[in-house]
A and B are shown apart, each in its own frame.
Chain A
Amino acid sequence: MNFFSPIGRLFLRFIEDAGGIFLFFWQSLIFTFTPPLRFRLFLKHMEFIGVRSWLVVALTALFSGMVTAYQVHHALVKFGGQSVLGGVVALTLTRELGPVLSAIMVVARAGSAISAEIGSMRITEQIDALKIMAVNPIQYLVTPRLWAAMIVVPLLTAMADLIGIAGGYLIGVLVLGIDHGIFVARMQDMVELIDIMSGIYKSIFFGAFLVTVCCYKGYFAKGGAEGVGRATTEAVVISSVGILISDYVLTTLFF
């Protein structure tokens, strides 16, 4: 009996959060069109997200590309199909690993920081201070970050695709001894523009999603420094899990 009640409660919390997050996203999107245009803040947040995340994203992509090449090779060898390694690695990266891993790394590096920063602004009344100076806090704090993430996360994804494929090439050609020409040719045969773009489109969604969740959790933080910590943890968990779940949904529906 009591076994299911935490699940029920979690489900209710989820519905409540989901509604709040969507409304929050909608508002920050709408406020794009109310002046002033906060272009400088937008640039600043692009820099923040990019600078904080690019190295981790690059490292993650490199090693994922390398290990994917090993694993795929292991499977392909069983029926002598190792020549398509280049294509399979590139497809895996552009369609799945690139966007998902980049987004999760951005959550870890920049998303958590955003959540903590906005959370501490909430509890030290800086958000109230914005309001009483007749500045809309969502328009000031969230809208520029939303656009920044929707641009930077796809850029990071494109970078991850490239580096990951390079990692796969390194292992495939230099270690596993697949011919350079074959590796590249199979890749060119198998990967179409739509494969790359599907990953990029997903990453635009992930960027918007993760930054909305992280801002939302920080924005409604309460209960002192401890509350900010709790908000940050929740933001990271919800965005990461949400990215994986929505990746599944988006992939089955559209891509």
Chain B
Amino acid sequence: MLEIKNLRKSFAGFQVLKGVNLTIPKESMTFIMGGSGTGKSVLLKHIVGLLKPDEGEIWFEGQDITKLSERELQIVRKKIGLLFQEGALFDSMTVFENVAFPLVEHSRMSSKEIKLKVEELLQAVELLSAKDKFPSELSGGMRKRAALARTLALNPQVILFDEPTTGLDPILQITIMELIKKIKETFKLTCVVISHDLILALKFAEKIAFLHEGVVVEEGDPEKIRHAAHPFVRKFVESALLDKKFETKEVEHEL
């Protein structure tokens, strides 16, 4: 579905992506994991053409996205949605207007239909009560959910989620992931999720890829990642799972 080949990108002489190769299977949930600052967000921005690579290709529907002009990209972008890490909500608009924005721009819906659709989306991310608030009046987690609703509004075929659950409470994390999964299954979407949360990844991912020092060092299904050989991935897995054991023990102890 999406094929990333030998992607390289430097910023002012500092190489962030050093030849990323990754295939994202159609209608699947792929998690991209890795340490902070390893270029996960940069990688997603290449997929929607916000950044141009120094070298490499990204194939989508028989086209190399990296070679498209801004106008050709507009067509691709209607098919690929991106949830920004910081939300990137328009701060001159209310939550409602933010979510309605892509519909007003691109759909042929009447304003009544748009209202219904937006309210349905806001309901799904549990934000209906905040619909008339401005982004500056929201908490970080609320902003993230509003941005999620906006990304979902256009029903893209592929959605790239840049840390959709970071900064949310554990219950909401699961709720959001369940929501993404449900939407993915209903609309047969291809989802790419960036996350630091291995537990969540093991639970929801069909494929996990580890980005480390500018390359994908390990990829495969959760079971494969659990028993990965690469030292960085092992360390990542061990710390995450240890944490979990620790947590469960503590809970038992309290009981």
Enumerate chain A interface residues (CB-CB to B < 8 A). 36, 117, 120-121, 124-126, 128-129, 131-136
Contacts and interface: CB of A to CB of B under 8 A. Distances in A.
Contact of B86 (A124, A132, A135): A124
B238 interface: no
Interface stretch (B75-83, B119-127, B168-176, B229-237): B75-83
A137 to B, nearest CB: 10
A128 B77 contact: no
Contact of A125 (B80, B86, B105): B86
Nearest to A34: B71
Q: Which 3 pairs, one residue from A and one from B, show the smallest C-beta to C-beta distance? A: A129-B88, A125-B88, A134-B74
B88 A134 contact: no
A135 B91 contact: no
A196 B249 CA distance: 84
A169 B118 CA distance: 58
A67 to B, nearest CB: 39
B52 to A, nearest CB: 13
B78 A134 contact: yes
A135 B73 CA distance: 11
Contacts of A132: 48, 50, 77, 80-82
Contact of B84 (A117, A121, A125, A136): A125
Nearest to B147: A129
B88 A126 contact: yes
A120 B135 CA distance: 14
Nearest to A133: B102
Contacts of A128: 45, 50, 84, 88
Nearest to B84: A125
Contacts of B203: none
Interface in B85-103: 86, 88-92, 101-102
Interface in B45-60: 45, 48, 50
A36 B77 CA distance: 18
Given A131-B77, A132-B50, A134-B78, A124 B91 contact: yes
Nearest to B74: A134
Contacts of B130: none
A133 B48 contact: no
B22 interface: no
A129 B77 contact: no
Contacts of B86: 124-125
Contacts of B84: 125, 128-129
B240 interface: no
Given A117-B92, A129-B84, A131-B50, 11 more contacts: A121-B90, A124-B88, A125-B86, A126-B88, A129-B90, A131-B77, A133-B77, A134-B75, A134-B105, A135-B105, A136-B70
Interface string B102-118: 10011000000000000
B154 interface: yes
A129 B160 CA distance: 13
A120, A124, A134, A135 — most chain B CB neighbours (10 Å): A134
Contacts of A117: 92
Contacts of B45: 128
10 contacts: A117-B92, A121-B90, A125-B88, A126-B89, A126-B90, A131-B48, A132-B48, A133-B106, A133-B154, A136-B74
